């Protein structure tokens, strides 16, 4: 496997400008609406083995990789957040906010948190 010995499996947000990683929302409709249950996966292939689907790890409540499209631990929603939007985990009737936890000076991991979501913006990626 090209000499790769460590494959981090967590989903992080970095303030470094060149670390944009497009994601794909997978759902039963072509239109993403507020509170629609969906799966999220990174769009680009990885040198690391395993799924690119996001899921929530039971023990740490962190958003990590290796989820599956058909698993409850991989169900997310987009919720209104003031005049913006936020990510939430779980079914539309009982969502839990996805928040941020600092892991380095400029890096944060996505983790479940009560009432501490963060605003997100969406743009159509050109593939």
Phi, psi (degrees; rounded to nearest 5) at 14: -120, 145
The answer to whether residue 73 is domain-embedded is: yes
CATH, residue 52:
2.80.10.50
> 54: closest CA among 68, 36, 37, 33?
68
Q: Is the pLDDT of residue 10 over 90?
A: no
The answer to whether residue 78 is domain-embedded is: yes
For residue 127, what pLDDT is reported? 60
For residue 99, what pLDDT is reported? 94
Q: What is the pLDDT of residues 12-65, one digit of tens each?
A: 887 776 667 889 999 988 888 999 999 999 988 887 888 899 999 998 999 999
Give the mean pLDDT of 106-114: 90
Distance CA 114, CA 127 (A): 35
The answer to whether residue 41 is domain-embedded is: yes
Give the mean pLDDT of 102-114: 89
| 96: containing domain | 12-112
The answer to whether residue 79 is domain-embedded is: yes
For residue 70, what pLDDT is reported? 87
For residue 17, what pLDDT is reported? 67
The answer to whether residue 75 is domain-embedded is: yes
DSSP 62: B
Q: What is the pLDDT of residues 80-92, one digit of tens each?
A: 999 999 999 999 9
The answer to whether residue 127 is domain-embedded is: no
Q: What is the pLDDT of residues 97-107, one digit of tens each?
A: 999 999 988 88
Distance CA 5, CA 110 (A): 23
The answer to whether residue 123 is domain-embedded is: no
User: How many domains would you assign to the chain?
Assistant: 1
111 sits in which H/E element: strand 107-112
Q: How many CA atoms lie within 13 A of 29 on its CB side?
A: 8
């Amino acid at each position: 496997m090209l000499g790769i010995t460590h494959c981090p499996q967590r989903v992080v947000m970095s303030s470094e400008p060149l670390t944009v990683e497009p994601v794909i929302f997978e759902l039963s409709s072509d239109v993403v609406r507020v509170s629609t249950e969906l799966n999220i996966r990174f769009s680009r292939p990885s040198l690391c083995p395993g799924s690119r689907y996001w899921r929530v790890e039971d023990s740490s409540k962190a958003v990590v990789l290796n989820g599956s499209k058909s698993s409850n631990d991989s169900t997310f929603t987009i919720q209104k957040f003031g005049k913006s939007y936020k990510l939430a985990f779980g079914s539309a009737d009982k969502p839990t906010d996805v928040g941020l936890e600092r892991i380095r000076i400029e890096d944060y991991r996505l983790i479940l948190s009560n009432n501490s979501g963060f605003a997100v913006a969406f743009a159509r990626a050109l593939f």
